[in-house]
Amino acid sequence: MEEKHKVIYYFLHADDSDTKITQQLSQKDLGKLLLRDDVVLSSVNAERKPYYRRKKKGR
């Protein structure tokens, strides 16, 4: 079984607009995707930073 990677990329349209796409892809499929001219890679397996609030003094 091939390992899947969380991939975020943008698909560029002819009218200069783009579409954000998030997929689980294997390394082989990711390689095929990167060969396309109308795709811009944003991230692969990027972890979200945890959200936290800073405590204000005196509270």
CA distances, 48 to each of 5, 26, 37 (Å) = 15, 21, 28
Is 12 within the bounds of a domain? yes
Is 49 within the bounds of a domain? no
The domain containing residue 30 runs over which residues? 4-44
Q: Phi then psi for 33, rounded to 5 degrees?
A: -65, -40
- Which amino acid is it at 52? Y
Residue 25: the pLDDT is 93
Is 50 within the bounds of a domain? no
Is 20 within the bounds of a domain? yes
- Which amino acid is it at 6? K
pTM listed for this prediction? 0.72
Q: How many domains is the chain built from?
A: 1
Q: What is the pLDDT of residues 24-59, one digit of tens each?
A: 999 999 999 999 999 999 999 887 777 777 777 765
Is 35 within the bounds of a domain? yes
Based on the number of CB atoms within 10 Å of its own CB, is 9 exposed (0-12), middle (13-18) or buried (19 or more)? buried
Is 53 within the bounds of a domain? no
